Amino acid sequence: MIPRELLRKIRRIEIYTNRLVNEQLAGQYQSVFRGRGMEFVEVREYQLGDDVRTIDWNVTARMRRPYVKRFMEERELTVVLAVDLSGSAEFGTVQQLKAETAAEICALLAFSAIKNNDKVGLIIFTDVIERFIPPRKGRTHVLRLIRELLYFRPERRRTDIAAALEYVSRVIRKRSVVFVVSDFRASGYERPLRIASKRHDVVAIVLTDPRELHLPSIGLVEFEDAETRQRILVDTASRHVRRSFAQAAAAERARQREALTNAQVEFIDIDCGKPYVGPLVSFFAERARRLRR
């Protein structure tokens, strides 16, 4: 049985994200994520006004009169949500954990997808693939994905983005839109990311909590690594410690951006201390502008 509180939370997310989809994202989603092109439908006899470039010369030679190929735009897409639920996803210092922010963003993307009659699938990963739900359509399916993201408890705590990307490349054969939702606090994913981006339209959604960039001055604090469980005592009252921490965090952030840029992957920075709708809308709008050029 699903706890009543979780059901209420799923319903709240559904209402909130559906409103955002209807008001802000649905049209933009359709304009920036397109189908695979034109799908062959049939061959029919040539009619006056048909484009001569569509003549099927093999059929024409066999039938001894001109025939043309007829195509139909293939709009349907497959959207895959690859979500990192390793130990660091359980971190959060503002209103909610990174895992909960990830669930809400995925709900927003999933409802945008089904509004356009697209399929949505889910991959939950840590340093292994913890759960794979194949792409399907429909509201009931999306609600199941949201429930999994909120209710699922991974068995492992470490992160292996490379393994997740390799799994996507192996399992998802049809060209798809792949959203990788993670804090990208890992290494060794650059090459698999580049390979995946050649086969799929990959978008990275990078989650960052404000306390991962700057430390407050609150004296001695014991920190625990969310993935390794190692602990360290830190004097946050030290200006030198806070400055070193901020510099290291900035360097890590720059390394992430460089890796994503080199892999030719678009990315959206999400500050978990602020509303995530603005960065998503800005990304959609900017991508739509580039496509119109």
Average pLDDT, integer, range 278-283:
92
Cα separation, 164 vs 93, whole angstroms = 27
Name the domain count of the chain.
2
Q: What is the mean pLDDT of residues 236-244?
A: 96
Instruction: Give the model confidence (pLDDT) of 152-194 as tens digits.
Output: 999 999 999 999 999 999 999 989 999 999 999 999 999 999 9
Answer with the one of 55, 74, 93 that is the final residue of a domain: 74
Same domain, 52 and 176: no
User: Is 27 found in the same domain as 50?
Assistant: no
Same domain, 253 and 240: yes
Looking at the fold, whether 128 and 157 belong to one and the same domain comes out as yes
Please calculate the CA angle 227-229-230 and round it to the nearest 5 degrees. 115
Residue 187's domain comprises: 4-33+76-292
Residue type, 235: D
Domain shared by 88 and 148, yes or no:
yes
Instruction: Point out the domain boundary residue: 74, 93, 125.
Output: 74
What's the pLDDT tens digit per position in 188-236? 999 999 999 999 999 999 999 999 999 999 999 999 998 999 999 999 9
Q: Spell out a b/e string for 23-40, using b for 16 or more CB atoms within 10 Å of the CB, else e.
A: ebbbebbbebbeeeeeee
One domain, residues 158 and 199 = yes
146 shares its domain with 259: yes
Judgement on whether residues 70 and 82 belong to the same structural domain of the protein: no
Residues 168 and 278 reside in one and the same domain: yes
- 215 shares a domain with 119: yes
pTM of the model: 0.85
Assign residue 117 the CATH number of its domain.
3.40.50.410
Claim to verify: residue 150 and residue 122 sit in the same structural domain: yes
Query: What is the Cα–Cα distance from 34 to 18, expressed in whole angstroms?
Result: 21
Spell out the residues 6+ positions from residue 226 whose beta carbon is closer than 8 angstroms to its own: 86, 87, 88, 90, 91, 157
Does 247 lie in the same domain as 155? yes
